[in-house]
Each structure stands twice: as C-alpha cells, then as structure tokens.
C-alpha cells in the first residue's frame, strides 16, 4: 500500500469549492429522494431546512459517523406506532 490519503471531498453545491463537512441523504417528499450529496458546513445548514433531508454522515474532524434513520423518521425521533387496545 502507498499510504496515500483519499482526496478531500468538495461541496456538491453549484460553484462551491469548500471542503465537504457532511453527507446529506434525501427522502420523500424531497425531489432528490434516494440520493446523497456532500455539502460544506454552510450549505449543509441551508439544505437541512428542506423537507425530507437528513444529515447521514459528518465528515472530517474525527467525528463518528452516523447512519440515516429509517424512512419516515427525522434525526432524534422514533417512528410512531399506533397502539390499539383490544
């Protein structure tokens, strides 16, 4: 092995050359549902405001990675289940 580091990922935002800080996963109702994109810190803040976006992974700075929650849930929330008495 050569021991080379992987190249730094760049922000996916149009005309942004900043290094990516997070990977954002898109879910319905977002038009980009089913895809993931890397964004810099500032653009991650902007993208998170849209419905159907979840920060799937934080890049750099030694932070642990996080996986995206199941469909229909937002980060930090659990899926709602109906409990009907019988």
pLDDT tens per residue across span 49-67:
999 999 988 887 554 444 4
Decide if 38 is inside a domain. yes
pTM of the model: 0.61
Decide if 44 is inside a domain. yes
d(CA 82, CA 70) in angstroms, rounded, equals 17
Decide if 19 is inside a domain. yes
Residue 74 tokens, joined = 């937002």
* Parts of the chain with a pLDDT under 50: 63-83, 86
What is the model's pLDDT at position 64? Answer: 44
Decide if 73 is inside a domain. no
Decide if 4 is inside a domain. no
d(CA 13, CA 36) in angstroms, rounded, equals 12
Going by the DSSP 8-state scheme, the letter that residue 60 receives in this structure is S
Instruction: Name the domain count of the chain.
Output: 1
Backbone angles phi, psi at 46, to 5 degrees: -70, -45
Decide if 66 is inside a domain. no
- Domain that residue 45 falls in: 9-61
What is the model's pLDDT at position 2? Answer: 65
Decide if 82 is inside a domain. no
d(CA 26, CA 12) in angstroms, rounded, equals 14
């Amino acid at each position: 092995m050569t021991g080379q580091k992987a190249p730094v990922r760049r922000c996916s935002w149009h005309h942004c050359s900043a290094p990516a800080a997070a990977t954002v996963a898109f879910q319905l109702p977002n038009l980009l549902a089913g895809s993931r994109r890397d964004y810099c810190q500032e653009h991650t803040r902007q993208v998170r405001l849209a419905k159907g976006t979840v920060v799937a992974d934080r890049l750099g700075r030694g932070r642990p990675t996080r996986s995206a929650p199941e469909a229909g849930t937002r980060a930090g929330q659990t899926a709602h289940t109906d409990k009907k008495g019988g």
